[in-house]
Amino acid sequence: MAIRQQQERGAPVLEVRDLTVEIRTKRGTITPVDRLSFTLRGGEVLGLVGESGSGKSVSMMALMGLLPAGAARVTSGTAFLGGTDLLSVSPKRLNSMRGGVVSMVFQDPMSALNPVMRVGDQVMEAVRVHHRGLGRKGLRARAVELLELVGITDAGERMNAYPHEFSGGMRQRVMIAMAAANEPAVIIADEPTTALDVTVQAQILELLQDMKERIGSAIILITHDLGVIAEIADRVMVMYAGGKVEEAAVQPIFDAPRHPYTASLLASMPKLSGAVTTMRTIPGAPPDLLALPQGCRFNPRCPLADGRTECHTRAPELVHLDGGQQSACHFPAEVEKAFSRSSDQIEEGGERA
């Protein structure tokens, strides 16, 4: 199968170009995703970070064809997955691809699972959609196998339970089993561990990585937690107010961010100073999408913007820098020096971004 062949490590699997989404709101039409482009490669975990409202979920929902009908629409872009453009394919075809070649894991598995349907039946249904020829016995065997694979003990018996009889972590395991059921080329995980406690978070992330190794899917992982990114992502894409502001492999992003927003996010990570963990926050707030600043969208919060006309008049384009890093800043070379000098610009005492 063409998509399978493309899953070779490092080969592009999903190529998104100029994805733009508009949503009609009561106050006016916003553009929560503005010309987003990126390439997902075989076997990699691409981390997607950015503050609340930066457009992470909306961009992924657009790719899945799951935007709220009526109010939201994709106004431009292509998203090629194995020769098919997810953004222009018919709803029927996209429906058949969903779960088959691209699937999604959500933050809250309870909202994605059917509360009145037995867990086993739901997993069997996820398998059946893409394996119409498989009889009930075959479906059941595959569902048990999947539940065992994601670490549900006594899977045969647990098949008969309802979602509310499972813990949050077990429900998320079931969601991952369903997302992985058809060995999709791409799994999109939107904050899959945010609702879980810390030890379960670690187990679920380990499970995602394990599934990736087993079935060879590439993963897009949305998270607020840069610690998670450092641990399991290969590359990182940073979004701010609907656009990508930086992209790079994990190490360069942590060692030498080339966008002040990324540097601010990193500076806001909890730091151990003596025995005390200090939480910091980026001053200011993301812009109102109906009243975006002139020039660079980050300028009201940027420590480098003072007195610089370019920052206030011209929106920076994404540029490719050495080492494959991309940054949408007029002064990428100045970021490192500015932030090593003045991490004091970041206020203490707030929440993590």
Ligand X SMILES: Nc1ncnc2c1ncn2[C@@H]1O[C@H](COP(=O)(O)OP(=O)(O)OP(=O)(O)O)[C@@H](O)[C@H]1O
Is 57 one of the binding residues for Mg ion (CB under 5 A)? yes
Residue of 256, 268, 327 whose CA lies nearest to 296: 327
- If the CB atoms of residues 103 and 268 are measured against ligand SF4, the closer one turns out to be 268
- If the CB atoms of residues 228 and 305 are measured against ligand SF4, the closer one turns out to be 305
Is 175 one of the binding residues for ligand SF4 (CB under 6 A)? no
- If the CB atoms of residues 35 and 118 are measured against ligand X, the closer one turns out to be 35
- If the CB atoms of residues 167 and 340 are measured against ligand SF4, the closer one turns out to be 340
Q: From the list ligand SF4, Mg ion, ligand X, none, which binds 299 (C-beta under 5 to 8 Å, kind-based)?
A: ligand SF4
- If the CB atoms of residues 54 and 217 are measured against ligand X, the closer one turns out to be 54
Contact 128, 134 (CB under 8 A): yes
Contact 313, 242 (CB under 8 A): no
Q: From the list ligand SF4, Mg ion, ligand X, none, which binds 316 (C-beta under 5 to 8 Å, kind-based)?
A: ligand SF4
Burial of 228 (0-12, 13-18, 19+ CB in 10 A): buried
Phi, psi of 111 (to 5 degrees): -75, -20
Region binding ligand SF4 by CB under 6 A among candidate stretches 47-55, 102-110, 155-163, 326-334: 326-334
Q: What is the DSSP string of 251-293?
A: HHHHH--SSHHHHHHHHTS-EEETTEEEPEE-SS-PPPTTSPP
User: 3-state SS of 325-339?
Assistant: CEECCCCHHHHHHHH
Region binding Mg ion by CB under 5 A among candidate stretches 50-58, 95-103, 238-246, 328-336: 50-58
Residues interacting with ligand X, by CB under 6 A?
A: 23, 25, 32, 50, 52-58, 68, 71, 289
Tokens encoding 34: 């503005």
CB-based burial, 176-192: b 16+ in 10 Å, e otherwise: bbbbbbbbbbbbbbbbb
Is 331 one of the binding residues for ligand SF4 (CB under 6 A)? yes
HSE toward the beta carbon, residue 334, CA cutoff 13 A: 11
Region binding ligand SF4 by CB under 6 A among candidate stretches 36-44, 53-61, 204-212, 299-307: 299-307
Tokens encoding 94: 């996209």
Shortest distance, position 282 Cβ to ligand X, whole Å: 14
d(CA 98, CA 70) in angstroms, rounded, equals: 20
Shortest distance, position 284 Cβ to Mg ion, whole Å: 20
Q: Which residues of this chain interact with Mg ion, rule CB under 5 A? A: 57
Which residues of the shown chain bind ligand SF4 in the complex (CB under 6 A)?
259-260, 296, 298-299, 302, 304-305, 308, 311, 316, 329-331
